[in-house]
Amino acid sequence: MSTFAQITDNINCGIVVIDKNLKVIYWNRWMEIHSGFESPAVIGRRIIDIYQNLNNSQFIRNCKSILSFGNFIFISQKLHQYIFPLKPIANLSNQSIEYMQQSCAMFPLRDENNLTTAICITVYDVTEVVLYQQKLLNLSRTDMLTGLCNRRYLEERLRE
């Protein structure tokens, strides 16, 4: 196994590489574990055929922007929650979170002539952080003794 493969298969994030036709050319071990798709099952297939939710104008526009201009795209969990609908890790499951919350980056991969030939997508699981944020928000809005909404919550609702 190459050094590159050892690194990408043991890193704690998803790595997907797609070509100009949006076909998967690399799918690391993290993605295999969390998606349930083995690498051979996705290599050569279009990412928008595997995940139909990516077959939208925004994702396609982002890919074109990366391929044409070499832009870097950062996809925040706060705005998009996830790009790959992956199940959250079992011990973090929560009724309010259906899919793993993700922070993602998309960036160009270039050949020796500095031409963009592929797109790398990195996927970081931030579900645990989101759950803690929700818990803190709930604690700030409720009375610890009674569990009832407090004055801060009332003032927020009145402003709305």
Main-chain dihedrals φ then ψ at residue 103, nearest 5 degrees = -105, 130
Same-domain check for residues 100 and 135: no
Same-domain check for residues 43 and 109: yes
In 3D space, the residue among 105, 156, 152, 101 whose CA is nearest the CA of residue 131 turns out to be 101
Same-domain check for residues 13 and 50: yes
pTM of the full predicted structure?
A: 0.81
Same-domain check for residues 115 and 154: no
Same-domain check for residues 21 and 99: yes
Residue 38 in 3-state DSSP?
A: coil
Same-domain check for residues 71 and 143: no
| Residue 156 in this model has a pLDDT that exceeds 90 | no
Percent of the chain with pLDDT over 70: 94
More confident residue, 1 or 62: 62
Same-domain check for residues 101 and 157: no
Same-domain check for residues 59 and 102: yes
Domain count, the chain: 2
| Lowest mean pLDDT segment, chosen from 29-38, 44-53, 92-101, 150-159 | 92-101
- Spatial strand order in the sheet of 24-27: 24-27, 14-19, 116-125, 102-110, 73-75
Cβ-contact 64, 50 below 8 angstroms? no
Q: Which domain holds residue 26?
A: 3-125
Same-domain check for residues 117 and 140: no
Same-domain check for residues 137 and 153: yes
Cβ-contact 108, 121 below 8 angstroms? no
Same-domain check for residues 79 and 139: no
Q: What is the DSSP letter of 90?
A: G
